[in-house]
Chain A
């Protein structure tokens, strides 16, 4: 078979065109291609998988509804991820009053404990640590460290001041450091 490199690239324009025509298969293809990445984003911004699934659902619907606004400028993946992050922020604003205080010592059932005696911390453990952060810390940490927003942008999106954003980041780092330290200490003690 002759290898056609063009066929390995997601035919964005064609796919978007089909999705705009509400072609279910095209939408499904789009979903399959981006859902792992988007689900990763959702997991970081929510407390549990159920919330992450809800967010993925809402975010993808928003992506489909906004496809006509995509100007084919820049990376399509970047655009899609941006929409999902925006959905995450909206989700946060909607649920902010119902957020209960998170017990930083609580261990989630989905967490995979790393029993290795070395200092390696798995992705799942790191994810759990982020998810255990209080909502405010989590939002700022994700937006600043992972998504790369500036404090000014974060402040505008979360309707807080830049000072609050900076302070929340400081607290998030402190909380994560404590979690890492505590977990590794427990691991060392277990192995001892």
Chain B
């Protein structure tokens, strides 16, 4: 589990603590013992209480047996006094030697109250072990410490012991360890001391910043705090975002900020930072203030208000107006509801009111008769007239209003700070709401032979395709302004009759928009 040291300091400390086994003070075990005893006593009490009936019967039996044995001994006396040493036990051969320091310490640990200058072990037969320094291995025995020396009889229930041959202690090459330690320390001393953890200055492109949702970063006095991380080069670098693309349009020099200096500068004015003293307890992620232009996380829904000024152009294929383009000016007001699918795509629909002024041309063909002279023939006057063919054109202006129902899709092409450029595509259903058409007033002195109404518009409804480029500017988290260049094309002819066809008109317009983010 130990990590391979990738730093001299790591190596130095790993080596130092590899075999670091200091002896704890003796009182710790006593405390542990007391804690365990307290715990088991509380369990034992329960045990005795639960089984008090059984123990009561057992105690009565033992007492009775004890009384009976007294009387039995009187009846059947015995001279047998068993030797308290087991036949198979031998005392330690060199029991008279003084204890070594280690053995004395061992005795103190095992049974301080019984510490004497000697100890006796009861060994199995055929063992001729001498007391040796206890090693770190656990001895599977329970030494019986005698108070007065080796030859005191030990109780029969002393367990037989096996003193293992001491392990061969590994020879520690102290000189080698010292040398290794010294070399590491020398290397560490000669390493450059990094005063400040450097900020990663290798950001070549505008990085993406992890944005807190609905946060508006300001480019003013209050620097927002951007989370940074330690990268693989052990440098602090800006965390990349996986939420939104909010590029920084700032200079790289501004990004390179010494966070230590920031803490020192701001701890007095920022209590939260003051609490997180950098040289003490664990602090949250390193927070680095970076100047950043305003940007926003757009909301899901937005209501738009739009005004469009446009010109309708069309070509006529009339026998009178061959390949002549007409222009019809108009304007429209719209309210739209926009739904942002994701950071790139929005859907929109709405309702609009469009008014056009239609120039209606009347081609008038007629004859105009003019009296040029008069003669009296005795009974009546005779008039001499001159007739001329008259052909002229009258223009009237009609006004039409339409209701329009658009449906469109907007795609964000590019975004930079608060500006964004979109492409829009969609369709519009247009229905005439009102027509105000003027009546042609013809002169009385002309005999009208024919008139032909040349009007670019006669259909009551039409379908249009719309495309456009939209430039948006985020004013605030709530308001966005937009300027659109819109191009619309009717997919149905406005007028077709006889030999006159008004080809599908198109319009080009500029639209101004205000969006309110919900």
A contact set with B: CB distance below 8 Å: 1, 3-4, 7-11, 15, 22, 24-25, 27-29, 31-33, 35-40, 43-44, 49, 52-53, 56-57, 60-61, 64, 78, 96, 99, 101-102, 104, 118-121, 123, 126-127, 130, 134-136, 139-141, 144-150, 158, 160-161, 163-164, 166-168, 170-171, 173-174, 176-178, 180-181, 184
Of A25, A57, A134, the most chain B CB neighbours within 10 A belong to A57
Cα A98 to Cα B163 with chains together (Å): 49
Cα A11 to Cα B109 with chains together (Å): 21
Cα A25 to Cα B286 with chains together (Å): 51
Which of B13, B24, B109, B278 is close to A145, meaning CB atoms less than 8 Å apart? B13
B319 within 8 A of A: no
Which residue in chain B gives the minimum CB-CB distance to A42?
A: B24
Asked, given contacts A61-B35, A145-B5, A146-B17, whether A119 binds B282 with beta carbons under 8 Å apart, the answer is: no
Residues from chain B with a CB closer than 8 A to the CB of A24 are 33, 36-37
Asked, given contacts A56-B28, A121-B181, A134-B280, whether A184 binds B1 with beta carbons under 8 Å apart, the answer is: no
Residues from chain A with a CB closer than 8 A to the CB of B24 are 35-36, 38-39, 52-53, 56
Residues from chain A with a CB closer than 8 A to the CB of B181 are 119-121
| Known A119-B181, A136-B283, A174-B194; further 19 A-B contacts with Cβ < 8 A | A8-B135, A8-B167, A22-B40, A24-B37, A36-B23, A44-B20, A53-B27, A121-B181, A126-B12, A130-B13, A145-B9, A150-B3, A163-B230, A167-B236, A168-B282, A170-B230, A170-B234, A180-B188, A181-B193
Cα A61 to Cα B188 with chains together (Å): 39
Residues from chain A with a CB closer than 8 A to the CB of B142 are 25
Asked, given contacts A170-B234, A174-B194, whether A7 binds B164 with beta carbons under 8 Å apart, the answer is: yes
Smallest CB–CB gap between A110 and chain B, Å? 11
Which of B16, B21, B280 is close to A99, meaning CB atoms less than 8 Å apart? B280
Which residue in chain B gives the minimum CB-CB distance to A188?
A: B189
Residues from chain A with a CB closer than 8 A to the CB of B29 are 28, 31-32, 35
The 7 closest A-B pairs by CB, nearest first: A136-B282, A36-B21, A148-B2, A148-B1, A39-B24, A119-B185, A166-B230
Whether the pair B22, A164 counts as a contact (CB closer than 8 A) is no
Whether the pair B279, A173 counts as a contact (CB closer than 8 A) is no
Smallest CB–CB gap between A95 and chain B, Å? 11
Residues from chain A with a CB closer than 8 A to the CB of B17 are 40, 44, 123, 126-127, 146
B266 within 8 A of A: no
Whether the pair A147, B193 counts as a contact (CB closer than 8 A) is no
Residues from chain B with a CB closer than 8 A to the CB of A25 are 142
Smallest CB–CB gap between B461 and chain A, Å? 61
Contact string, B88-122, partner A, CB cutoff 8 A, digits 1/0? 00000000000000000000010000000000000
Residues from chain A with a CB closer than 8 A to the CB of B280 are 99, 101-102, 134-136
Cα A134 to Cα B372 with chains together (Å): 121
Cα A184 to Cα B21 with chains together (Å): 26
Residues from chain A with a CB closer than 8 A to the CB of B10 are 145, 173
Cα A158 to Cα B284 with chains together (Å): 12
28 A/B residue pairs, CB under 8 Å, sorted by A: A1-B128, A3-B164, A15-B138, A22-B36, A24-B36, A27-B33, A32-B29, A33-B138, A36-B24, A39-B22, A53-B24, A53-B25, A57-B28, A119-B186, A120-B181, A126-B13, A130-B13, A135-B282, A136-B283, A146-B13, A147-B1, A158-B282, A160-B284, A164-B283, A164-B285, A164-B286, A180-B9, A180-B189
Whether the pair A11, B279 counts as a contact (CB closer than 8 A) is no
Which residue in chain B gives the minimum CB-CB distance to A184?
A: B189
Whether the pair A144, B3 counts as a contact (CB closer than 8 A) is yes
Cα A10 to Cα B194 with chains together (Å): 48
Whether the pair A8, B137 counts as a contact (CB closer than 8 A) is yes
B140 within 8 A of A: yes
Residues from chain A with a CB closer than 8 A to the CB of B286 are 163-164, 167
Which of A10, A11, A31, A40 is close to B21, meaning CB atoms less than 8 Å apart? A40
B165 within 8 A of A: yes
Smallest CB–CB gap between B46 and chain A, Å? 14
Which residue in chain B gives the minimum CB-CB distance to A14?
A: B140
Whether the pair A139, B178 counts as a contact (CB closer than 8 A) is no
Smallest CB–CB gap between A87 and chain B, Å? 13
Q: Which of B342-389 contact A (CB under 8 A)?
A: none
B241 within 8 A of A: no
Whether the pair B31, A145 counts as a contact (CB closer than 8 A) is no
Whether the pair A1, B3 counts as a contact (CB closer than 8 A) is no
Which residue in chain B gives the minimum CB-CB distance to A119?
A: B185
Whether the pair B186, A9 counts as a contact (CB closer than 8 A) is no
Whether the pair A10, B138 counts as a contact (CB closer than 8 A) is yes
Smallest CB–CB gap between A13 and chain B, Å? 13
Which of A7, A60, A130 is close to B32, meaning CB atoms less than 8 Å apart? A60
Asked, given contacts A1-B127, A176-B9, A177-B188, whether A101 binds B277 with beta carbons under 8 Å apart, the answer is: yes
Residues from chain A with a CB closer than 8 A to the CB of B136 are 33
Residues from chain B with a CB closer than 8 A to the CB of A139 are 282
Residues from chain A with a CB closer than 8 A to the CB of B167 are 8
Which residue in chain B gives the minimum CB-CB distance to A39?
A: B24
Cα A148 to Cα B2 with chains together (Å): 4
Cα A56 to Cα B21 with chains together (Å): 13
Smallest CB–CB gap between A125 and chain B, Å? 9
Q: Which of B118-152 contact A (CB under 8 A)?
A: 126-129, 135-138, 140, 142
Whether the pair B33, A28 counts as a contact (CB closer than 8 A) is yes
Whether the pair A120, B1 counts as a contact (CB closer than 8 A) is no
B162 within 8 A of A: yes
Cα A149 to Cα B3 with chains together (Å): 7
Smallest CB–CB gap between A48 and chain B, Å? 13
Asked, given contacts A53-B25, A64-B36, whether A148 binds B277 with beta carbons under 8 Å apart, the answer is: no
Cα A15 to Cα B230 with chains together (Å): 47
Smallest CB–CB gap between A52 and chain B, Å? 8
B7 within 8 A of A: yes
Smallest CB–CB gap between A45 and chain B, Å? 11
Residues from chain A with a CB closer than 8 A to the CB of B273 are none
Which residue in chain B gives the minimum CB-CB distance to A123?
A: B16
Asked, given contacts A1-B165, A104-B279, whether A7 binds B140 with beta carbons under 8 Å apart, the answer is: yes
B331 within 8 A of A: no
Cα A113 to Cα B2 with chains together (Å): 29
Residues from chain A with a CB closer than 8 A to the CB of B283 are 136, 164
Smallest CB–CB gap between B153 and chain A, Å? 22
Cα A179 to Cα B230 with chains together (Å): 23
Cα A89 to Cα B230 with chains together (Å): 24
B197 within 8 A of A: yes
